Structure 1
């Protein structure tokens, strides 16, 4: 399976010399977008003329009069790509699109994707395509991961989060499904206690089954953190404090629900945290502000006491007032953690450095038929 894929119908010899890579996953929040950025940055540095696509997007945002995929827009801007966004992310699955499909209205999404791919790939050495969140997403428009890779004859790199050996089952299932089109895997977020087992047992086993392992990236808690800005956007509610304070990063959540006497020692256990507590618990709020707290989330739609606001201003800690109760707010906030979000420059740089140290770019280039220099 080394070298280039068969030439898709209608391509020229020049287009056939270009390499394509589809970065896939079977679950959400495995760091697929960040992996694409790491690959593209390194390919740029190695002198390749790069292209990027997100063929099918189910994560659509509405901005002013535009519907877009925010991750695709971020990658386009960060890498300085000239292709228009509607070619980079040509198929956006909006509620309107779903409604039209359910009504049986005809669509031409495969042609739109094909046309966009031909435009993006023109004069490129390599095009990296970011897959959907799961293997099945996109099936509604006949553009699931396997259908896209079939349509564009694109080899696939599977990004898999490794928590237990069940990840091996998933990888083998994908190989059984797509065959030689799977050119390898990258194991992401491997915890330190598991690293020796993964390196000495899992990797040799996968290699023996014809699945190259291009990289093993360690779990890094700094990548799982979120910005206060992201927390506000996700929870909604009212912000008390200056917007510039919201660039701070939140590494963990703590719930303030204990007695006042125990709260101070409890809050000192973690740094760079967000504390979620009832809006009427001024004692807990003041205790949290005496420790390394980067945000206060107050539930029940209750404004804090003036002494809390004064202390928060002194410490430059934003306060977020939300209408939900504490349990609901905790559930919503926790759903943000574990995602490798990369829109902060420091987090993106850190992830790219991890890939530089733990990913075998040379072996991937060989599999794709790319020659540096």
Structure 2
């Protein structure tokens, strides 16, 4: 039985989609596959319990019959973290809990896919960082990373050092077209020269990034004030807390963004409507903007979303939607399966098929 732990240099790097896609690829090869996420970090209230959405999706897509408390033995919630800092969580007991759940789930499987929580260092408070989990479970490690600029290699090498000899390889995910050539021409050879194997470079796919304006409106329970098309994708947010002149300079440099600001800032609304990278306005506080703003938005084809909550609460919710909303469904996992098949060394990650191994 082999075990691979999927972790990342930072949050929102595609761990769930990659982990479940690898599991499906292994199942296609005739392997019996188990899944586990030792630290539940994506939390929601479900039947009175705090559960991570990722193991719930894994259980559904992989046809697992394990109990949630086995798939997610540690609920790494803000309350848990506070209690651990106060000394009310025993690290060795938690590690034994993780080990026991893993052994139960791994029984009669050919491959165990273990998903890291948050980023590489999450869990350090209770001695359950992803490298520590890998040691505990005797797992090889697939390290995911984004790549936008050369300095990103510094963070990657630091993570490689933390993982140590358990590193199976690095997978660059969601690489923009402009960064693809320098990554493959310069960075990959550099890393391999440092004995860091690169197992794949997955290109950025628009349908896997961000959420549509329409999805965002639905998740925020927002009222649409214009009849503009809501199919555009939003990948980032800009908080409007600046003067109009400063905002214009900043907004002209952004792309695929939503401006989140109070509905009582028509100066910012007007400026944002002149920035091609702004895909929608999210106006908070329940303040409806002047008719002139709505008319200009109609003319520019920019949707305006009106929400009742304050700006801080709205931006927190919106960022959570963007970071997670497009990566937790069967369609996304299937798309990632195709991408890994085409752009990654699947044999190195999940092994040869059962038939080939005979």
TM-score class normalised by the smaller sequence: 0.7 to 0.9
Separation of aligned partners in 2, 1:116 and 1:254? 39
Q: Which has the larger radius of gyration?
A: 1
Q: 2:287 — aligned with what? A: 302
More displaced 10-residue stretch of structure 1: 148-157 or 215-224? 215-224
Q: 2:11 — aligned with what? A: 28
Q: 2:156 — aligned with what? A: 171
Residue segments in structure 1 that go unaligned for 5+ positions in a row: 1-17, 242-246, 259-265
Q: 1:343 — aligned with what? A: 328
Separation of aligned partners in 2, 1:253 and 1:171? 23
TM-score of the aligned structures, taking structure 2 as reference length: 0.76
Matched, 1:121 2:106: yes
Separation of aligned partners in 1, 2:141 and 2:202? 18
Residue segments in structure 2 that go unaligned for 5+ positions in a row: 225-229, 245-250
1:134 CA displacement = 1.8
Pick closer, same or farther for the CA change 1:124–1:248 going to 2, 3 Å: farther
Separation of aligned partners in 2, 1:87 and 1:249? 39
Q: 1:362 — aligned with what? A: 347
Q: Aligned Cα RMSD in Å? A: 4.2
Q: Could you tell me which of 86, 92, 97 is aligned with 2:69?
A: 86
What pairs up with 1:1-373 in 2 under 5 angstroms? 18-105=1-88, 107=90, 108-227=93-212, 231=216, 236=220, 238-240=221-223, 250-251=233-234, 279=263, 297-302=282-287, 319-324=305-310, 333=318, 337=322, 341-366=326-351, 372-373=355-356
Separation of aligned partners in 1, 2:119 and 2:327? 19
1:295 CA displacement = 7.1
TM-score of the aligned structures, taking structure 1 as reference length: 0.73
Kept in 1, the 8 Å contact 2:213–2:234? The answer is no
* CA shift digits 1:27-74 (9 cap, x unpaired): 111111111121111111111111011011233222231210012212
Kept in 1, the 8 Å contact 2:286–2:306? The answer is no
Pick closer, same or farther for the CA change 1:142–1:370 going to 2, 3 Å: farther
